[in-house]
Amino acid sequence: MVIDNFYNTIDKNNFYLGRISQVYRGNSVIQVENLSLLSHRKIKNESLTPSTINYFVVIDSTQGLFLGEVFQSKISNTVNMHDSINEGKPESVYPEICVDIIGLMKYGDTTFRLPEFLTVGITDKTYLANEVIIQKYLQSIEIRKNEEKSLPPFATFLNLSGQTVALKASTLFDRHLMAVGTTNSGKSTSALSILDKLVKSKKKLLIIDPTGEYDEAFNNQEVKKLNLGIDTVLSVGKISMQQWSILFETNGNTQSAVLSEAIRSLRYQNKISTKTIYKKDGENIQCVQQDLSTITAQDTDFDISLLPEQIVAESVVESSNRATQGQYVYDTFRANTNSYLVQKVNYQLANTSFLDFFSGVPGTLNLLAEIDAFLTTPTSSLYINTSQIGTGDGIGGMIIDLISNYVLNQKDNLPFVLFIDEVHRYTRSPYAETEYHSGLTMVAREGRKKGIFLFLTTQNPQDVSPILLGQLGTLLIHRLTHNDELRTIQNHLDEHAIKQVKKLNQGESILTSINLLQNIYIHVDKCSRKHKNETPRL
């Protein structure tokens, strides 16, 4: 497509700036023919302000039409320049404009694409981009070309007044999406706006809400709601030892091993239908080992309320007394070592909803059965409220790890988006050396092949695993102020964009993605859904 096709109503010479005078690998320089060409002017319905930056230009080249974005304008600081301006002779001043080349439309093409290794040439003519070219740019902003219908608009461009942002779901989620930003930067509001568009477009959603913040955002016809510990339960036999360690926040020394032995003993008691703990003090070691060896892979259930008492019962060692040789005896040192683990377990069990979540009452729903139904039902969405079973990071981390591993191991899933709010709460235990998100990391690595796409939010990208962060192809970046946080995301932004992150207002963000022609600056529109995130006034 030739440049005259874009300027068929107004002569393109009215938009002329100058010629390319310098070409670099990273950018190019336009030599403006005179200072008067940078003056503000209005042509019909188009208002042009070329004396500033952050606007688009089009370069007519032998290879096609290059689209560039201006990031620097300057004039030489000389005596002759000042004299020319003071004397009203702008024609003798020759400004320079630096541009980033962001797109190329070859002759015969109808949209812009990444220029790859191609760039402009010396003396190529440059013109201000008119509304027709900007509309063509907006149509080309998504690199992936397919017949998928775009989601409803959820934002407007900051540098293109009045232009809405409507992207395809695959553009946002193909390589997972994370929204980052400090508190009150508009991160959660942006997340709800995108969720709103997904629900309205009948996309499948699995929402895990640790605080109940989104409880009233969706109605029961749009999303099926589960409240863990209230109307939804889980069998203790479905939880792995690693997940129990996450739940009770064991340290990296002996606590995990002691917890494992206590659960193993209770599994044996449940196997023989005994409602008490398994006492080892004074028992023959060989007999105890024979009892525990009878536990099979099917013997997974146990009475979780007995766990603290069973941990105390595990505080035994082999007797050194000749009279009681071959027997377990109570050991005060081990009891003192295990006392901290007992306190942590008792603290979790003190939450009555927590116990209800694992024991359940007649008429309650089964969490994994509900997830199974969700995975195989078209256009259905599921909301899981975990706020009633404790606000600690341990229980939230365990639930996320459990669900992540479970959905990843299922076959023939229908594609869905897995939304997790404030994911930094579940990334690292203050006690354990291991990270919470082993299951989440596996979803980030392998989930895309099974149609599982992550949508995460966090206040601090530093707390997100570098492995998990490396798997994210799209970031919605709200205001960040700490230099360490900015360094964490610097691989996703150029130097100019990094400086802009500190200046973003509430609701404003930078959307960067491997599926976009370039990073875009947007203001996310607040949706009308109820959101329990209002900050009380003093």
Q: How far is CA 421 from the centre of its chain?
A: 9
Give the residue among 180, 247, 232, 219 at the shortest CA–CA distance from 368.
232
Q: Give the CA-trace dihedral at 323, 328, 333, 334, to 10 degrees.
A: 170
Q: Is the separation of the CB atoms in 414 and 378 below 8 Å?
A: yes
355: exposed, middle or buried (C-beta count within 10 Å: 0-12, 13-18, 19+)? middle
Q: What is the pLDDT of residue 42?
A: 82
Of the pLDDT bands very low, low, confident and very high (cuts 50, 70, 90), residue 77 is low
Q: Is the separation of the CB atoms in 75 and 55 below 8 Å?
A: no
pLDDT tens for each residue of 265-293: 999 999 999 989 999 988 898 999 999 99
pLDDT tens for each residue of 434-473: 555 578 888 888 888 889 999 999 988 887 888 888 889 9
Q: Describe the chain by its helix, strand, coil percentages, rounded to 5.
A: 35, 20, 40
Sign of the C-alpha dihedral, residues 173, 178, 181, 184?
Answer: positive
CA 304 to each of CA 226, 265, 275, 309: distance values in angstroms, whole numbers, following the listed order: 22, 12, 11, 10
Q: What is the pLDDT of residue 393?
A: 56
**DSSP H/E element including 405:** helix 393-408
The CATH class for the domain spanning 169-231+364-524 reads: alpha beta
How long a stretch of residues is the chain?
538
Q: If you ran DSSP here, which 8-state letter would residue 295 be given?
A: -
- Count of helices and strands (H, E) across the chain: 16, 23
**How many of the other CB atoms lie within 10 Å of CB of 460?**
17
Of the pLDDT bands very low, low, confident and very high (cuts 50, 70, 90), residue 11 is confident
CA angle 354, 356, 360 (to 5 degrees): 145
- Indicate whether 185 pLDDT > 90: no
Q: What is the pLDDT of residue 476?
A: 95
- Indicate whether 359 pLDDT > 80: no
Please list, in sequence order, all residues whose beta carbon lies within 8 angstroms of the beta carbon of residue 382, skipping any fewer than 6 positions away: 205, 206, 207, 223, 224, 226, 370, 371, 374
Q: How does strand 232-233 pair with strand 28-32?
A: unpaired
Q: Is the separation of the CB atoms in 97 and 29 below 8 Å?
A: yes
Region 379-403: what's the mean pLDDT? 79
Sign of the C-alpha dihedral, residues 201, 206, 212, 216?
Answer: positive
Gyration radius from the chain CA atoms: 31
C-alpha 278/C-alpha 256 separation (Å) is 19
**How many of the other CB atoms lie within 10 Å of CB of 370?**
15
Return the axis-axis angle of helices 332-349 and 255-271, rounded to nearest 10°. 70
| Dihedral class, residue 139 (left if φ above 0, else alpha if ψ from -120 to 50, else beta) | alpha
Q: What is the pLDDT of residue 49?
A: 83
Q: What is the pLDDT of residue 252?
A: 64
CA angle 494, 496, 499 (to 5 degrees): 110
Of the pLDDT bands very low, low, confident and very high (cuts 50, 70, 90), residue 495 is confident
C-alpha 246/C-alpha 425 separation (Å) is 13
- Indicate whether 327 pLDDT > 60: yes
Q: What percent of the chain has pLDDT over 70?
A: 92
Q: What is the pLDDT of residue 212?
A: 84
Give strand pairing partners of 512: 475
Q: Is the separation of the CB atoms in 514 and 473 below 8 Å?
A: yes
Residue type, 375: L
Domain boundaries of the chain, sorted by first residue: 3-140, 169-231+364-524, 237-356
Q: Provide DSSP, 195-251.
A: HHHHHHTT--EEEEESS-TTTTTS-TTTSEEEEBTTTEE--GGGS-HHHHHHHTT--
